[in-house]
Amino acid sequence: VSGSVRLHVVLLAGGSGTRFWPLSRTKRPKQFLPLAGPHSLLRSTWDRVRRLAPASRIWVVAPRTLASDVRRELPNLRRDRLIAEPSPRDTAPAIALACARIARRDPRAIAAFFPCDHLIGDLRAFGRAVAAAERAAERGALVCVGIAPDRPATGFGYLKVGAKPKAGVASPVLEFVEKPDPARARRFLRSGRYLWNGGMFVWRIDRFLAELARVAPEIRRQTAAVAGGSLAAWRRVPKISIDYAVMEKAANVAVVPLDAGWDDVGSWDAAARHASGAGGRGARVILGSDGSVVFGGERLVAIVDVPGVVVVDTKDALLIASRASSEKLKSVVEAVRAAGRADLL
Amino acid sequence: VSGSVRLHVVLLAGGSGTRFWPLSRTKRPKQFLPLAGPHSLLRSTWDRVRRLAPASRIWVVAPRTLASDVRRELPNLRRDRLIAEPSPRDTAPAIALACARIARRDPRAIAAFFPCDHLIGDLRAFGRAVAAAERAAERGALVCVGIAPDRPATGFGYLKVGAKPKAGVASPVLEFVEKPDPARARRFLRSGRYLWNGGMFVWRIDRFLAELARVAPEIRRQTAAVAGGSLAAWRRVPKISIDYAVMEKAANVAVVPLDAGWDDVGSWDAAARHASGAGGRGARVILGSDGSVVFGGERLVAIVDVPGVVVVDTKDALLIASRASSEKLKSVVEAVRAAGRADLL
């Protein structure tokens, strides 16, 4: 365990998982799927953050409906460390609620927040980046862990800094930039002064709650009520992301760079990059089909001269999609619903 | 019924169906599959030839192992009109055995032979072509029904004639040409003097048996023994096609052209041409995937931006193949066998 005794870790395990249909379903979203290895994404994330803090200081925010699934997947999660959201409200309420809950135990704690759909190859570099973020947080910054980009990705938000970021050093964030178009993304990459916003944050709870009260007082008020036991207050919490609600408006926001073989598992295409050619337990016969990957399924799957596709084989639904079209899955899910088969979602 | 009282019809229902794996299996070859309409290919062929002869003069040659399947599929087939082959021996033995059996009932009969994997759009034109073939057969010719080509296909053998063939007129066949390369196929198409050899034949039984005795005496001898009750003789029958064994060597071979919207269902690509966009009973969501077709399956199948593929969804095996790669299915079947999953063939 490398974190300080003040460091609490919070895993953000919400999300509907539409993008991983048909393997993910309403009742089994992506964090419960072994999309990039033998374990579920949730379990892999738990194993990773156990290097940062003991189980007594690891928290999980998850939808109430999935609480028993989380406990099954994380047998070492402490009973009172699971924060159940009555309904999905995006990241700002989830993070605010976690901070309110942690503050009741340790108002001077530092908290680090991690989504559950990341892959990180170099765990030592990850630990060093979190330690640097923790040091900056001690001094009062709201710290993003920003990913050193290795391609002009258009699917992430970017964090602008004043000079080329250096490992272990926190720099002030000059601007939050939403997902750019390809030309802009190429400029960002060339400039060396942009990092991807991966949704990982580290801060002192007291500092965050003070900023929250200033820039999003309604969220502060209602989540404090929920933390105090009034679950009904959750209904009055606006649904909004942490970036929009807090980070873009807060003072003293910094970023620490992470260069650790990071990827997020945000689409079938990303999962395919880490699936090493085959998922599922069934036999595979893949001829003339470079880059095609099969997920799920016990059946034999044969692919002949169909390169670059992802095949997702489940008991009652089968998806065959161009890897480049991962982003279209929302329309598929809508079409399935329109066809009267919401039972398959 | 349009044929003469002497016309017997023989359906050739052998064939292993490797090309339609995984819907076709050793125990359920393609003739039993509804590949191009609501009924099996065998049943569709039966329905078509019922226009030519009454059930009492329709025969089926099929592997012994499939006899009960044939009877189930063709409830009106007479008990003693099913000719069971002890093992597959290609078309020459099947046809010779059928002729020997028919000769024992009616030595002056005319017999017409049809494979069970053809589609014919214009049934009147089909009836007229068979009638013309029957007239030429009466006069002693061994008559092929040759298909008027509409494209430079490389997957068929060709029949060369002296002048442009005319509907209803039998012309002498000058040459049997094996599957040509594309350039040659284009020359054949331009010349107008070539027809596809579709494996449909009409002749007088006595004429055929005399030719058979002359050009393939061993086949004549052994199949006569089988027809006489000595099933063991089948083992001594060589495995050979009717074209090689007889047609290329026989005297007085003629061809009658057929221009009737003919196609054969020889590959998934061909089946897809006739499947009108969807087979199977499951729901389909097909986005940005022109020319992609699903066969089989009760599951929902979604295809996103993967054009021109055939998807064959069965309980224990799934095939996703480029339609242009239909011919590669043999290697898939071999790979499945090599993977120790012959149980799936």
pLDDT of residue B278 exceeding 90, the answer is no
Residues A94-138 have pLDDT tens digits of 999 999 999 999 999 999 999 999 999 999 999 999 999 999 999
Residue from the list A302, A303, A319 with its beta carbon closest to the beta carbon of B302: A319
* Residue B277 predicted with pLDDT over 50: no
State the pLDDT confidence band at B198, using cuts at 50, 70 and 90: very high
Which residues fall within 8 angstroms of residue A321, CB to CB, at 6 or more apart?
A: A268, A309, A310, A312, A328, A329, A332, B302, B303, B304, B305, B306
Is A38 or A60 the better-scoring residue by pLDDT?
A: A60
**pLDDT number for residue A336:** 92
pLDDT exceeds 70 at position A277: no
Which tokens in the block code for residue A267?
């689409």
Q: Which residues contact A132 (CB under 8 A, 6 or more apart)?
A: A167, A168, A169, A170, A256
What proportion of chain A, given as a percentage, has pLDDT over 70?
97
Q: What SS3 class is residue A230?
A: coil
Averaged pLDDT score across all residues of chain B: 93
Closest Cα in chain B to A330: B304
Q: How confident is the model at residue B327 (pLDDT cuts 50, 70, 90)?
A: confident
At A52, the pLDDT band (50, 70, 90 cuts) reads very high
* Cβ partners under 8 Å of residue B286, min gap 6: B277, B292, B294, B302, B303
Per-residue pLDDT, A36: 81
Quick: pLDDT tens for B51-104.
999 999 999 999 999 999 999 999 999 999 999 999 999 999 999 999 999 999
Q: What is the pLDDT of residue A194?
A: 98
Among A306, A310, A307, A303, smallest CA distance to A327 is for A310
Biggest distance spanned by C-alpha atoms of chain A: 60
CB of A264 closer than 8 Å to CB of A118: yes
Chain B residues within an 8 Å CB radius of A305? 321-322, 324-325, 328
Residue A270: pLDDT over 90: no
Q: How far apart are CA A222 and CA A232, in angstroms?
A: 9
Residue type, B271: A
Q: Is B312 left (phi over 0), alpha (psi -120 to 50) or beta?
A: beta
Question: Over 60: is that where the pLDDT of A278 sits?
Answer: no
Cα distances from B275 to residues A237, B5, B286, in angstroms, run 53, 36, 15
Q: Do B304 and A329 touch (CB under 8 A)?
A: yes
What φ, ψ does residue B240 adopt, rounded to 5°? -160, 150
Q: Is the pLDDT of residue A283 over 90?
A: no
* Tokens (6 digits) for B300: 């929902």
Of residues B285, B288, B319, nearest to A336 (C-beta): B285
The mean pLDDT value of chain A amounts to 93
| Whole-number Å distance between alpha carbons of A172 and A166 | 12
pLDDT at B19: 86
Task: Indicate the pLDDT class of residue B122, thresholds 50, 70 and 90.
Answer: very high
pLDDT score of B144 more than 80:
yes
User: Which of A153, A333, A263 lies closest to A321 in space, CA to CA?
Assistant: A333
Q: Which of A3-7, B206-210, B309-313 is least confident?
A: A3-7
**Cβ contact (<8 Å) for A320 and B299?**
no
Q: Are B325 and A288 in contact (CB under 8 A)?
A: yes
pLDDT of residue A170: 97
User: For residue A302, which residues of chain B lie inside 8 Å, CB to CB?
Assistant: 22, 317-321, 332, 335-336
pLDDT of residue B336: 92
What pTM, to 2 d.p., does this model score?
0.83
Which residue does chain A place closest to B343, by CA atoms? A300
Judging contacts by C-beta atoms under 8 Å, the chain B residues touching residue A324 are 305
User: Of the candidates A305, A320, A344, which has its C-beta nearest B303's C-beta?
Assistant: A320
pLDDT of residue A290 exceeding 70, the answer is: yes
Note the pLDDT of residue B2. 66
Q: Is the pLDDT of residue B226 over 50?
A: yes
Lowest mean pLDDT among A1-5, A190-194, B152-156, B301-305: A1-5
Q: Do A319 and B304 touch (CB under 8 A)?
A: yes
Which pLDDT score is estimated for B311?
Answer: 95
Contact state of A300 with B316 under an 8 Å Cβ cutoff:
yes
B321 and A335 within 8 Å at the Cβ level: the answer is no
CB contact under 8 A, A300 and B318: yes
Note the maximum CA span of chain B: 60
Name the one residue in this structure whose structure tokens are 């908290």: A111
Q: What is the mean pLDDT of residues A303-324?
A: 95
